[in-house]
């Protein structure tokens, strides 16, 4: 008697492996997207914290910092963009003009702008999901489940916000 597998046994093994693969591959892809969203959210909050700390320490944003965000944070590229999946621009951060003028008062707000509407990331699934995360919505002043972040949001990083003493 010969030892080995029959053709029908091999076919059944191939069919079972095919069914397992059809279930596992989409789950792995979804897990990878979830990891990209978590990484993007962490990088964005880190960038906001770094920018806030820089402004607190220096009191202004110089032109050299505005043209090279890597001097403030390593979470953004040189132009102030948060990229996901290596090259998709998800969020563009714009720093405010903080030069003192005759109209500058202690209660002036200093706000940076987050632009979620860049061409590359507007239709990307990771970028769309990033805008719906509760922490990102809260940072942009949105709290309810029906509150949505538009293409831009402003985050106050300095000034008293108009608090009167």
**What pLDDT is stored for residue 162 in this prediction?**
43
Q: How many CA atoms does the CB half-sphere of 92 hold within 13 Å?
A: 15
Q: How far apart are CA 101 and CA 103, in angstroms?
A: 5
Q: What is the overall mean pLDDT for the chain?
A: 83
Tens of pLDDT, residue by residue over 26-37, are 888 888 889 999
Cβ(137)–Cβ(147) under 8 Å? Answer: yes
The residue whose two tokens read 């591959």 is 25
Tokens of 119: 């061409």
Could you tell me the mean pLDDT of each successive run of 10 residues in the chain, 165 residues long?
83 94 86 90 93 88 87 91 88 79 59 81 84 87 79 79 44
Q: What is the pTM of this model?
A: 0.76
pLDDT (tens digit per residue) in 52-83? 999 888 888 888 888 899 999 999 999 999 99
Per-residue model confidence (pLDDT) at position 99: 60
The pLDDT of residue 13 is 94
Q: Identify the burial level of 57 via C-beta atoms within 10 angstroms of its C-beta, where 0-12 means exposed, 13-18 middle and 19 or more buried.
A: exposed
Q: How many Å from the N-terminal Cα to the C-terminal Cα in the chain?
A: 97
Q: What is the pLDDT of residue 164?
A: 42
Residue 141 in tokens: 């002043």
């Amino acid at each position: 008697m010969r030892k080995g597998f029959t053709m029908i046994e091999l076919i059944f093994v191939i069919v079972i492996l095919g069914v397992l693969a059809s279930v596992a591959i989409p789950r792995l892809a979804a897990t990878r997207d979830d990891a990209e969203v978590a990484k993007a959210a962490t990088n964005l909050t880190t960038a906001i914290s770094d920018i806030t700390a820089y402004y607190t320490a220096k009191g202004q944003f110089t032109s050299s910092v505005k043209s090279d965000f890597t001097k403030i944070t390593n979470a953004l590229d040189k132009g102030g963009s948060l990229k996901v999946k290596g090259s998709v621009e998800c969020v563009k951060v714009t720093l405010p003009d903080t030069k003192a003028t005759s109209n500058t008062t202690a209660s002036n707000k200093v706000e940076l702008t987050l632009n979620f509407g860049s061409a590359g990331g507007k239709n990307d699934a990771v970028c769309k999901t990033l805008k719906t995360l509760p922490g990102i919505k809260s940072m942009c002043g949105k709290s309810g489940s029906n509150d949505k972040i538009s293409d831009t949001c402003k985050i106050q990083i300095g000034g008293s916000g108009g608090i009167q003493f």
